[in-house]
Structures are given as structure tokens and as C-alpha cells.
Amino acid sequence: MNAINQISRVRRGRVQGRMTYTTVEKLWGYLLIAPFMVFFTIFVLVPYGMVIWLSFVDWHPRGVTAYVGLQNYMAVISTDVARKAMFNSFYFALLVVPISTALSLITAMLIVSLRNRGLRSFFQATFYLPGVISGLSVAIIWRFVFDYHVGILNFFLSLLGVEAVNWLGNIYTALPSLAGMAILSGNGVAIIIFCAALLSVPADLYHAAAVDGANFWRQQWSITLPLITPALLYVIVVSTLGALQVFVPVYVLTRGGPVYSTMTVGYYIYNQLIFYGNTGTAAAAGLLLLIVTIGLTIFQFRRFSQVVEF
Amino acid sequence: MLTEVRSRNIRREPLPTRLRATLFPEGSASLWRYVALIFVILLAVLSLFPFYWALITSFKAPQDVATVPPSLVLTRPAITNYIDLIRGTGVANAPVVRWFLNSVLTSIAATAGVVLLASLAGYSFARKQFPFRDQIFWLIIATILVPGWSTIIATYVLTLNLGMHDTYWALILPGLASPFAVFLFRQFAVTLPEELFQAARIDGAGELQLWWLIALPMSRPVLATLAIFTFVAHWNDFLWPLLVLNKQTLYTLPVGVSVIMYQIQGAGPSYGIGMAAAILMSVLPILAFILMQRQMIEGITIGSLKG
């Protein structure tokens, strides 16, 4: 009895007033996170340090690793292919993020306006389904869809009297084709997030606005938009990150071609690492991507915090 | 949000009417709702059509795969493409069954590890008091925003130096510390009632018993969500296995399929094999999704609306 009292007194130390941690509590706290922290340190934190080191050296698996200063960064910034890759990744993100965000938002609005709860769940599940299928499968399927001779896309266009387009073999259409694939097959998560956000907007607000004479568009602009801003921000940040790193569709559909027109940062890093063995340039390109994405994320947060105050 | 999720896991209750926001105000013409329904159906057809197309193509006989005009329905079902795929057509003795088993094995191992580590750490972050707890937690969460491409080179070099390339370890260990998993479990564990833990302590339960006998059973829904997300993510992962595996017998299914696709150049009739491969890779994730849709969809919402 005495022992139990003692235990509960020790445990309750933080509950009763003084915010002090008992030694036992602290120890168990650290002990329970220790297994995770070991792997987190080795495979997440250590690589952060290593990638910075790798970007300043000429690394060899078996041999001398020499310090080369900013040479790797210069190699990335000054080569046309790397600059083209940066440009293409931005172009791709610029095509994909606004269109797929708008499309997901519209789809979610249509879904939540259905009255039947079962129907809403059904459509959420339907739109999410492609999201569980691997990017590799999706890309293989779309390679067939885009095929110049036997692809279904050109077949449908021929029904409309449009001449066959060599979607993946033309420098002007290759990257937009990849973007089109991303727009049509990657919306599941965004739709579910938007549905949850839209469903949490109190209907009272719409009633009140309607009484005040606000029309449909005014209601969407003044009520829906501000209230779903956190979800919108999340979706935009995450899909921008994903779009800037696009790799699998490039790998399966175009391998960076034709004439580097689909060379993206992800494919560039892969190429440098696997084909040329240039870990230095790959690391430098990766870090430049990191700097750009951090900047972009901060910019997006700033923009949105202005909208929220509105 | 989280308390709502919990209560709905116990019993599904409709949202109160007050919360039911709609695109159209209550009482607006129901015609518009039918228009909305039609548009939703159109969009759903558009987004699912490629998968339908892949499915029926995979069951076509090779000579029917690349016809012009293509037939949009399945007239003569055949499993030739699947047999060709499993026999490894195009790649000499491609061990597709072995690749499938490699994928199953490493995905299960990784899932078990992630759930174990994340539930221990998440429980601690949610219910223990120790210095720098919140700082450590936010450090872990912040890493979610770092692009994978920025550090994958270093992880590649690190695993190479540790001698893990061309072993299962390279597929399992680097993904074990999943920040998202810790976040998900912690968010759930925070909402568990403290009284349960107090009662168990008074009954003399030790710290590990509190985790094993109280926290884990109470968190079954979130554990299921976590397990399914981790499994599907590992199963679908392509880039990392592609980097660290060179030995053909150790390939995971996606790496093996990508090699087959490269060798047969995936054109003309061989698209049938490609579609069969795409379907084969999708079977387990789709099954998992059908069995656990609700947990997955709730998991996405928890992950995004930070509690």
C-alpha cells in the first residue's frame, strides 16, 4: 500500500502544482523515444550533414575524396542541362499545382453539395483510389494512353477529327503531357482534405450571408475561401513539393527527352548519381533544390497569412 | 477534429446538421444538386478511365492489345499477358514471383518496424514529460518538409558505406524512423483519457505495460491507419529500391517491372504485359484500400489538419 502511494505521488508530481519532471518520468520519456531517435539520427539527421559535406568534395566509393570547394555548385549552375532541369521542374509545377488544386477544390465542392452521405463517401473513395496505386503503375498505364500509334488519347481525338499528336516525342508537348497525367491522376488526397475542410464550414454562415443578400460567388469568396485557407495552404505546399521533385513519370515515359525537354531536377540528380557517378553535383543540385523549396514554402505561407487576415 | 474521429470510430454518427456546409444553400433548387451529381460522375469517369483501360487491356489476347481502332470492352478475355509476365518474357528467367515475395517481405518488415518505433515514440511525446520534448518533436516534424531529393544522395552513400546495398536491410532500415508516423500516433495518443493510465498505475502497471496494455489497445484504429499507409508506401516505393539494388534476385516488384518494361520497350502488343504488370502491382494496395477505406481517409484528414 505504502509503495503504491509512493508511486502515484511520484507520478502525479507534475499534475499537482509544481511543473517539475520526476527523474523516473524523464528517464522513461527518453527511453521510449530512444529506438526511434537512433534510426532518426542515423538515417535522417546524419544524411543532412553528409549531403553538405558531399556537395563540397569529389567523392569516390573506393579512393581518395578530395575537397573541391564550390566546384560542384558551379558545375550545376553553369551547365545548360542543370539549368534546363531547374526550369522544367518549375514549369511543371506551374502547370500542375494551380490546375490540379483548382480541379480538386471544384470536385470537392461538388461532392460536399451532394445530400446523400453514402454517396459522398463513395465519391471520396472513388477519387482517392488512384492515390493508392503506385506512381510506377500509373506512369506505365499513361505511357500506353499517350502512345502515338495505338494510344487511346489519339484514338479519342481522331473521333473528334483531330490529327494524331506524338505527345511524348515532341519537345513542346512532352512536358505538358506529363503535367496532364499528374493533374488527372494525383488529386485523391487533395480532394479528401478539401472535403473535410468544406464540411467543417458552419452552414449558419451561408444562411446569414444569404439573408444579408450575398450571392453565390460572394459567399464562396467571403466565407468558404477564408475558412478553408489552412487546407488550401497545406495542399498547395505539399503539391508544390511533389511537383518540383517529379521523377517516376519522367523515368518511365520520356527519360528526360526529347532533347532534354522533360529533364527535371529529380531526373538530373538521378542521372548524375547513377550514370555519371557525380555524387558531388547530385548533392549540390539537391541542396539548391532544398534552398529553393524552403524559399518557396516561406513565400506561400506569407502570401496566405495575408489572405487569412482578410 | 481528433475527438470527433475517435467518437466516430466507436460509433458512426452523422454530422450535426449545423456542420453540413453545402455548395448550395439549404432550400436552393434541387436541380442544381443533380447537375452537381452529373459533374462528379463525369470527373470520376475521367479519372478512373485509364485504370479501366489498363485492366481490360491486361486481359486481352496479345493480338487484340494494340488494335486500331481499339475495342473499349473486353470481348475475348485471356490471361496470356499475366502468364507472359510471370514467366518473365523479354528478360531471361525474370523471377517475377521472387520479386513479388521480396516486396511482400520487405514491406511487412518495414511496416512492423515503423509501427513499433512510432508507437513507442509517439506515446512518449504525447504522455511523458521530459526536457526538450516539444523541441525534439518539432524537429522531427520539420523534416517532413525537406525534399527527398535533397538528402537521398547522402542516404545512398551512407548505406553504401554501411555495406547495405543489395541486401534487404537497405530497403527496411532507412525508412524505419518515419516522422509522419510519429506525428499521427502522437496526435491520437494525446486524446486518450488520462484516468485510464492513472488507474493502471494504481494497479501497479509498469511504464512498458502502460504502453502495451493501455495505449496500444486504445489506439487500434490509428495503428491500423498507420500500418496500411506504411505498407502501401513501401510497396509502391520505386526510386529507393532502384538506387540500392543491383542484384536481379533481390529486386522488388516495381524495380523488376521497370526493367522488364525497359527491355521489351513497351510498345505495340507488349503493352499488354505492361498493363498486366501495372495491375499486378496495384492489387494489394487496392485490396488494402477496399478493406480499410475509412481509416485511410480519416488518416489523411488527421495528417493535414494539425490538431
Domain boundaries along the sequence of chain B: 96-304
Query: Is residue A48 located within the same domain as residue A84?
Result: no
Main-chain dihedrals φ then ψ at residue A262, nearest 5 degrees: -120, 20
For an interface test with A, give the residue of B45, B150, B160, B201 to mutate (most A CBs within 10 A).
B150
Nearest to A43 among B37, B177, B235 (CB): B177
Q: Bridge-partner residues for A67, per DSSP? A: A57
Contact (Cβ atoms closer than 8 angstroms) between residue A157 and residue A147: no
Contacts of B296 in chain A (CB under 8 A): 128, 132
Query: Is residue A11 located within the same domain as residue A129?
Result: no
> For residue A7, is it within any domain?
yes
Chain A: residue nearest B302 by CA? Answer: A193
As a whole-number percent, the residues of chain B with pLDDT over 90 amount to 27
User: What's the pLDDT band for B122 if we cut at 50, 70, 90?
Assistant: very high
DSSP annotation of A163: P
Question: What's the total number of domains in chain A?
Answer: 2
Average pLDDT of chain A to the nearest whole number? 84
Contact (Cβ atoms closer than 8 angstroms) between residue A250 and residue A178: yes
Of B99, B103, B89, give the one whose Cα is nearest residue B263: B89
> For residue A275, is it within any domain?
yes
pLDDT of residue A197: 86
> For residue A11, is it within any domain?
yes
What would the grid cell of residue B301 be? 484528414
Over 70: is that where the pLDDT of B27 sits? no
Helical segments of chain B, H only: 2-10, 30-58, 62-65, 80-87, 96-127, 133-142, 148-161, 168-172, 179-189, 194-202, 207-209, 216-218, 220-236, 239-244, 253-264, 271-291, 293-304
Q: How far apart are CA B205 and CA B102, in angstroms?
A: 40
pLDDT of residue A21: 63
pLDDT of residue B109: 95
Over 70: is that where the pLDDT of B78 sits? yes
CATH for A134:
1.10.3720.10
Q: Is A269 at the interface with chain B, CB within 8 A?
A: yes
Over 60: is that where the pLDDT of A10 sits? no
Residue indicated by cell numbers 525537406: B146
Contact (Cβ atoms closer than 8 angstroms) between residue B302 and residue B188: yes
The arithmetic mean of pLDDT across residues B70-87, rounded, is 82
Chain B: residue nearest A206 by CA? Answer: B25
pLDDT of residue B259: 85
Q: How far apart are CA B177 and CA B186, in angstroms?
A: 14
Query: Is residue A120 located within the same domain as residue A45?
Result: no
pLDDT of residue B9: 42
What would the grid cell of residue B54 be? 489498363
Of B135, B267, B92, B5, give the one whose Cα is nearest residue A151: B267
The arithmetic mean of pLDDT across residues A116-124, rounded, is 85
The arithmetic mean of pLDDT across residues B38-42, rounded, is 90
Query: Is residue A85 located within the same domain as residue A29?
Result: no
Nearest to B43 among A107, A136, A294 (CB): A107
The arithmetic mean of pLDDT across residues B43-72, rounded, is 85
Tell me the nearest-neighbour CA distance from A48 into chain B, angstroms.
6
CA angle centred on A272, ends A269 and A277, rounded to 5°: 135
B150 to A200: CB separation less than 8 angstroms, yes or no: no
Q: Is A277 at the interface with chain B, CB within 8 A?
A: no
What would the grid cell of residue B29 be? 433548387
More confident residue, B22 or B179: B179
Contact (Cβ atoms closer than 8 angstroms) between residue A179 and residue A95: yes
Chain B: residue nearest A35 by CA? Answer: B117
User: What's the pLDDT band for A17 if we cut at 50, 70, 90?
Assistant: very low
Torsion sign over Cα A178, A182, A183, A185: positive
Tell me the nearest-neighbour CA distance from A228 into chain B, angstroms.
11
Tell me the nearest-neighbour CA distance from A208 into chain B, angstroms.
10
| Residue ranges making up the domain that contains A39 | 2-55
Q: According to the per-residue pLDDT averaged within each range, which of A15-29, A117-131, B1-15 is highest?
A: A117-131
Of A270, A272, A265, give the one whose Cα is nearest residue A291: A265
Query: Is residue A46 located within the same domain as residue A127?
Result: no
Query: Is residue A8 located within the same domain as residue A43?
Result: yes
Main-chain dihedrals φ then ψ at residue A94, nearest 5 degrees: -65, -35
Q: Is A289 at the interface with chain B, CB within 8 A?
A: yes
User: What's the pLDDT band for B155 if we cut at 50, 70, 90?
Assistant: very high
User: What's the pLDDT band for A307 if we cut at 50, 70, 90?
Assistant: low
pLDDT of residue B6: 42
Q: How far apart are CA A78 and CA A90, in angstroms?
A: 18
Query: Is residue A24 located within the same domain as residue A89?
Result: no
Report, in angstroms and rounded to the nearest whole number, the Rg of chain B calculated over CA atoms: 24
> For residue A42, is it within any domain?
yes
Query: Is residue A134 located within the same domain as residue A11?
Result: no
As a whole-number percent, the residues of chain A with pLDDT over 70 amount to 91
Query: Is residue A146 located within the same domain as residue A282?
Result: yes
Lowest mean pLDDT among A73-77, A168-172, B13-17: B13-17
Query: Is residue A188 located within the same domain as residue A294?
Result: yes
User: What's the pLDDT band for B7 if we cut at 50, 70, 90?
Assistant: very low
CATH for B96-304 is: 1.10.3720.10
Contacts of B253 in chain A (CB under 8 A): none
DSSP annotation of B270: G
Of B42, B50, B274, give the one whose Cα is nearest residue A145: B50
Report, in angstroms and rounded to the nearest whole number, the Rg of chain A calculated over CA atoms: 26
> For residue A111, is it within any domain?
yes
Q: How far apart are CA B230 and CA A16, in angstroms?
A: 39
B257 to A43: CB separation less than 8 angstroms, yes or no: no
Over 50: is that where the pLDDT of A309 sits? no
Of B278, B213, B218, B211, give the one whose Cα is nearest residue B53: B278
The arithmetic mean of pLDDT across residues B14-19, rounded, is 43
pLDDT of residue B28: 53
Contacts of A109 in chain B (CB under 8 A): 23
Contact (Cβ atoms closer than 8 angstroms) between residue B281 and residue B254: yes
pLDDT of residue A287: 92
Size of interface A-B (CB pairs under 8 A): 331
Q: According to the per-residue pLDDT averaged within each range, which of A49-53, A70-74, A117-121, B142-146 is highest?
A: A49-53
Average pLDDT of chain B to the nearest whole number? 82
A289 to B211: CB separation less than 8 angstroms, yes or no: no
Nearest to B153 among A128, A265, A269 (CB): A269
Over 90: is that where the pLDDT of B17 sits? no
> For residue A294, is it within any domain?
yes
Q: Report ipTM (2 d.p.).
A: 0.83
Look up the pTM and report it. 0.85
Main-chain dihedrals φ then ψ at residue A148, nearest 5 degrees: -65, -45
Contacts of B232 in chain A (CB under 8 A): 132
pLDDT of residue A60: 78
Chain B: residue nearest A159 by CA? Answer: B69
B239 to A244: CB separation less than 8 angstroms, yes or no: no
Query: Is residue A44 located within the same domain as residue A175?
Result: no
A19-45 residue pLDDT tens: 456 788 888 889 999 999 999 999 999
CA angle centred on B301, ends B296 and B307, rounded to 5°: 130
DSSP, residue by residue, B121-158 = HHHHHHH---TTHHHHHHHHHHGGGS-HHHHHHHHHHH
Over 50: is that where the pLDDT of B85 sits? yes
A143 to B274: CB separation less than 8 angstroms, yes or no: yes
B143 to A44: CB separation less than 8 angstroms, yes or no: yes
Query: Is residue A186 located within the same domain as residue A277?
Result: yes
B154 to A48: CB separation less than 8 angstroms, yes or no: yes
